[in-house]
Structure 1
Amino acid sequence: MSFVGEATGVLGLLGKGWNLLRDRLDPARAQAQRLIETFEAYGIARQQITRLLPPELKLPNAAFSTPDKLKDKVTPELLDWASGNLAINRAWLDGVSPQPHLRVDKYKQPALYRDWLLERQRIAPNVRPILLVWKAAGSPVGPEADGPLCLVYEEISDGLDGSELSRYWLLSEGWRWDHSPCVSNMVAAVAVAQSLGVMVIGQDVPLPLLLQLEEGKRLAPAVAQKRQRLWHPDDLITPLSGTDTPWRQAVWKDAEGWLPGSKSLTPPNADAAQISEAIRKETT
């Protein structure tokens, strides 16, 4: 490495160290910076944030231009609003929790996802709901699978200027493919979501990003931008002709065990089924 390269690296480390020290010494500035960066992660530029604010919280555009200009204007009401608008953990915005996303983990009680999803549909009837099942890119779907298994609920609504805004909830915590109850709980959650007309999409995501998401070091929209190949979690419930396996049958039997009255689950919503089939055709 050249002298210039070494000097640049040292300066970069010093800069990071100073930023960490400054945030610790000035938590109000850290709150302001986290607020701005979170909106930007969700595709909302800092000069656009004021367009979303309710009248009682209105601020001039310049307030969001830098953390230093915003820090004196951050109020509990502003943080409460941002937390609700983006479905972000309020304590994380305060810097006292390591996890930015709200978790709704019903491990070993996947039937309870039904109540939660119904409540989301009541609260936000005009959004497009999707249950995302994220696995590590390259990891197979079968008895040899390993790595993290992440259930993510996404709501897509209208954003600014014809764009879309997605909000995310984590519906799992520390689930893994090589732990069979996690897999059967995932399949049970997929069955519940489909019975309510929620579209289910499986996606490959680079392993480091999934690990960072679990640790609270990466926001879901940043992970979603890097998603890769699609796969079909619903194949673990109703496999394509000629593709069934003993492993799949065992997984579904276990999943049914987590769902009392699973025989009475209503069939998938027609629109969701048509979209799922269209996705399948695009990827085959």
Structure 2
Amino acid sequence: MIFGEIESFVSLIERATKSFKKRDKKHQELLSTRLVSVFESHGVHRNQIPNVIGHGLTFHDVSCDKRLLEKLDNDILDSTCSLFGINRDWLDGASEEVFSTYTFYKHPQKFNHFLSELVTKCGSENLDGVLLTVDKVDRETESVLILQETLGLINNKPYFRYYLCSGWVFSYWRSRGYIAASVAMCWKNKVYVRGLYLDASTVAHYASGKSLLNFGQDGVHFPNGVRWYAEDLAYVPDVYLKNVDPEENKFGLNAALSLWFQLNSKGFLDTGFMNNDVVLKRFNDAREKLA
């Protein structure tokens, strides 16, 4: 009995020690380690940092985190945050928010202004995007539209900056209309947005702006996502209404269609790829089916 109690006590101490070590390791993460993770998540390898950021850094300086830490100053940190749109407080370890997020819910004109400024600054050929959503009726999870800017090339490989637009609950009828308008405006400006269905926790994780994004060969990368055609939100009724919460007496579906007609009349749903008369007929037919 005594030996069993001692064994249980030792086991408890071991678990507590392991937990403390994990917390301590996280607490001791070097500022330089975070800096390198920022570059790598945007497509810049550690050894390429001097070529991108300059400030007198050498390959020797970036060869390990401890050497890099000795070289860091406010100019390097501020330049990195400015280049990639990263919150300085997060880089310093004082905040959980990596990216500031943009919210345009109920304000398609503001999104259009934001997008126009981005296209003017970057050029549409240097912009594309991905809309992360869930493939079910879910009134809790916010979707996120990630716009990706190609900043430049290193050895013919691009590196990027990201802009996170969130605040839309995809299954809510009002959000559905404004998401469709945002995607349509992107396509109208030749900023091509694809759709990806992911699980709710992953979508919410990235919509919060509290995580660096996964990087792949073509930029932001979600290996488990199921691709769909986000532009169809603007001109295919079945896609526009898919997973919209119908609510009582199909109120949600009817309200979603009414909002589509309002936004379309103001030109917010013109992708530039479909004849509006054809699209109008599709949505009128969909409204009649619901009646």
Q: Shorter-chain TM-score: which interval?
A: 0.7 to 0.9
Work out the CA distance in 2 between the residues paired with 1:64 and 1:145: 45
Work out the CA distance in 2 between the residues paired with 1:224 and 1:198: 18
Name the TM-score, length of structure 2 as normaliser.
Answer: 0.72
Work out the CA distance in 2 between the residues paired with 1:158 and 1:60: 20
Work out the CA distance in 1 between the residues paired with 2:99 and 2:128: 16
Work out the CA distance in 2 between the residues paired with 1:64 and 1:232: 41
The reply to whether residue 191 of structure 1 matches residue 191 of structure 2 is no
Name the structure 2 match of 1:156: 150
- Percent same amino acid at aligned positions? 20
Match of 1:177 among 170, 175, 185: 170
Counterpart code for 2:202:
L
Match of 1:236 among 219, 233, 236: 233
Work out the CA distance in 2 between the residues paired with 1:126 and 1:177: 26
Q: Which moved more, 1:100-109 or 1:88-97?
A: 88-97
Name the structure 2 match of 1:261: 266
Contact kept, 8 Å, 2:147 with 2:163, in 1: the verdict is: yes
Match of 1:86 among 75, 84, 87: 84
Quick one: structure 1 residues 204 and 8, their matched pair in 2 at CA, closer, same or farther if it must change by over 3 Å? farther
Work out the CA distance in 2 between the residues paired with 1:85 and 1:263: 31
The reply to whether residue 20 of structure 1 matches residue 26 of structure 2 is yes
Contact kept, 8 Å, 1:256 with 1:262, in 2: the verdict is: no
Match of 1:214 among 196, 207, 220: 207
Structure number with the higher strand fraction is 2
Name the structure 1 match of 2:289: none
Name the structure 1 match of 2:114: 116
Counterpart code for 2:156:
G
Name the structure 2 match of 1:49: 49
For the residue of structure 1 that corresponds to 2:214, the secondary structure is: helix
Name the structure 1 match of 2:194: 201
C-alpha deviations, 1:166-196, integer Å up to 9, x for none? Answer: 32111113x3223222222211211222222
Larger Rg over CA atoms: 2
Contact kept, 8 Å, 1:110 with 1:259, in 2: the verdict is: no
Contact kept, 8 Å, 1:237 with 1:252, in 2: the verdict is: no
Match of 1:131 among 116, 129, 132: 129
Match of 1:251 among 241, 250, 256: 256
Quick one: structure 1 residues 244 and 41, their matched pair in 2 at CA, closer, same or farther if it must change by over 3 Å? closer
Contact kept, 8 Å, 2:197 with 2:227, in 1: the verdict is: yes
Quick one: structure 1 residues 216 and 253, their matched pair in 2 at CA, closer, same or farther if it must change by over 3 Å? same
Work out the CA distance in 2 between the residues paired with 1:32 and 1:256: 51
Q: Which moved more, 1:164-173 or 1:243-252?
A: 243-252
Shift of 1:94: 2.5
Shift of 1:210: 2.0
Work out the CA distance in 2 between the residues paired with 1:117 and 1:227: 28
Quick one: structure 1 residues 255 and 216, their matched pair in 2 at CA, closer, same or farther if it must change by over 3 Å? same
**Any unmatched runs of 5+ in structure 1?**
1-5, 24-28, 270-284
Shift of 1:134: 0.7
Quick one: structure 1 residues 88 and 212, their matched pair in 2 at CA, closer, same or farther if it must change by over 3 Å? same
Work out the CA distance in 1 between the residues paired with 2:147 and 2:57: 31
Contact kept, 8 Å, 1:127 with 1:157, in 2: the verdict is: no
Counterpart code for 1:198:
V
Work out the CA distance in 1 between the residues paired with 2:118 and 2:181: 19
Work out the CA distance in 2 between the residues paired with 1:154 and 1:190: 14
Contact kept, 8 Å, 2:108 with 2:268, in 1: the verdict is: no
State the aligned residue count.
Answer: 251
Contact kept, 8 Å, 2:234 with 2:269, in 1: the verdict is: no
Q: Which moved more, 1:245-254 or 1:228-237?
A: 245-254
C-alpha deviations, 1:13-63, integer Å up to 9, x for none? Answer: 44422223335xxxxx3x322111111222322122112123xx1212222
Contact kept, 8 Å, 1:130 with 1:199, in 2: the verdict is: yes
Shift of 1:209: 2.4
Work out the CA distance in 1 between the residues paired with 2:195 and 2:124: 23
Contact kept, 8 Å, 2:97 with 2:211, in 1: the verdict is: no
Quick one: structure 1 residues 125 and 119, their matched pair in 2 at CA, closer, same or farther if it must change by over 3 Å? same
